[in-house]
Amino acid sequence: MSADAKILNAVTTISVEGDVAIVTLNSPPVNALSAPVREGLTLGINAALADSAVKSVVLICDGRTFIAGADITEFGKAPVGPSLQDVQNTIENASKPVVAAIHGTALGGGLEVALTCHYRVAVPSAKCGLPEVNLGLLPGAGGTQRLPRIVGAAKALEMMTTGQHVPAKACLAMGLVDELAEEGKLRETAVAFAKKIVAEGRPLKRVRDLEDKVLADRANPGLFAEFRKANARKFRGFMAPESNIKCIEAAVNLPFDEGMAVERKLFMELMTGSQSAAQRYVFFAERQAAKIPDIGDDVAILPVKKVGVIGAGTMGGGISMNFLSAGYAVTIVETQQAALDRGIATIRKNYENTAKKGRLTQADVETRMGLLTGTLALEDLADCDLIIEAVFENMEIKKDVFGRLDKIAKAGAILASNTSYLDVNEIASATTRPESVIGLHFFSPANVMRLLEIVRGAATSKEVIATSMQIGKKIGKVAVLVGVCPGFVGNRILSQRQREAQKLVMEGAMPWDIDRVLFDFGFPMGPFAMSDLAGLDIGWSKENSKSSTIREVLCEMDRRGQKSGSGYYDYDENRNAIPSPVVEKIILDFAAQQGINRRDISDEEILERCVYPMINEGAKILEEGMAIRASDVDIVWLNGYGWPLYRGGPMFYGDLIGLPKVLEKMKTFQAQMGEEFKPSALLERLVAEGKSFKDL
Ligand code: 3H9
Specify the amino acid at residue 334: E
Tell the residue nearest (CA) to atom 18 of ligand 1: 284
3-state secondary structure of 374: strand
Tell the residue nearest (CA) to atom 35 of ligand 1: 69
Average pLDDT for the chain: 96
Contacts for 217 with CB less than 8 Å, ≥ 6 apart: 148, 152, 153, 154, 223, 252
32: Cβ below 6 Å to ligand 1? yes
282: Cβ below 6 Å to ligand 1? no
Determine the Cα–Cα distance for residues 433 and 410; give it in Å rounded to an integer.
Answer: 11
CA 68–ligand 1 middle distance (angstroms): 6
Q: Please confirm whether the linkage preceding 148 is cis (ω < 30° from 0).
A: no
CA 272–ligand 1 middle distance (angstroms): 20
Phi, psi (5° rounding) for residue 373?
-125, 135
132: Cβ below 6 Å to ligand 1? yes
Cα dist. 76→271, 325, 645 in Å?
Answer: 8, 40, 20
68: Cβ below 6 Å to ligand 1? yes
286: Cβ below 6 Å to ligand 1? no
307: Cβ below 6 Å to ligand 1? no
- Residue 161 · residue 170 · CB < 8 Å: no
105: Cβ below 6 Å to ligand 1? yes
Work out the widest C-alpha separation in the chain, in whole angstroms.
Answer: 93
Alpha carbon 626 to chain centroid, angstroms: 22
Per-residue pLDDT reduced to its tens digit, 610-667: 999 999 999 999 999 999 999 999 999 999 999 999 999 999 999 999 999 999 999 9
Determine the Cα–Cα distance for residues 669 and 665; give it in Å rounded to an integer.
Answer: 6
Domains defined for the chain, CATH in brackets: 6-269 (3.90.226.10), 306-484 (3.40.50.720), 509-593 (1.10.1040.10), 603-695 (1.10.1040.10)
CA 33–ligand 1 middle distance (angstroms): 10
> Catalytic residue positions?
112, 132
Which atom of ligand 1 lies nearest, measured to the CA of 112?
Answer: 5
Determine the Cα–Cα distance for residues 632 and 628; give it in Å rounded to an integer.
Answer: 7
Could you tell which of 38, 72, 280, 284 is best to mutate to test the pocket of ligand 1, judged by most ligand atoms within 8 Å of the CB?
72
Question: What kind and span of H or E run contains 387?
Answer: strand 386-389
Q: Which residues of the chain have pLDDT under 50?
A: none
Which atom of ligand 1 lies nearest, measured to the CA of 70?
Answer: 2
CA 118–ligand 1 middle distance (angstroms): 25
- Residue 615 · residue 249 · CB < 8 Å: no
The radius of gyration of the chain from alpha carbons, rounded to an integer in Å, stands at 29
Which atom of ligand 1 lies nearest, measured to the CA of 84?
Answer: 8
CA 111–ligand 1 middle distance (angstroms): 13
- Residue 117 · residue 261 · CB < 8 Å: no
Kindly give the pairing relationship between strand 98-102 and strand 127-129.
unpaired
Per-residue pLDDT reduced to its tens digit, 569-618: 999 988 899 999 999 999 999 999 999 999 999 999 999 999 999 999 99
CA 634–ligand 1 middle distance (angstroms): 20
CA 442–ligand 1 middle distance (angstroms): 27
139: Cβ below 6 Å to ligand 1? yes
**What is the pTM (predicted TM-score) of this model?**
0.94
CA 148–ligand 1 middle distance (angstroms): 24
Could you tell which of 11, 27, 30 is best to mutate to test the pocket of ligand 1, judged by most ligand atoms within 8 Å of the CB?
30
Determine the Cα–Cα distance for residues 212 and 223; give it in Å rounded to an integer.
Answer: 17
555: Cβ below 6 Å to ligand 1? no
Nearest to 71 by CA among 126, 113, 127, 109: 109
Determine the Cα–Cα distance for residues 494 and 610; give it in Å rounded to an integer.
Answer: 10
Residues 15, 21, 22, 23, CA torsion sign = positive
Tell the residue nearest (CA) to atom 24 of ligand 1: 287
Determine the Cα–Cα distance for residues 430 and 615; give it in Å rounded to an integer.
Answer: 35
473: Cβ below 6 Å to ligand 1? no
Kindly give the pairing relationship between strand 119-122 and strand 127-129.
unpaired
247: Cβ below 6 Å to ligand 1? no
Q: What is the pLDDT of residue 2?
A: 65
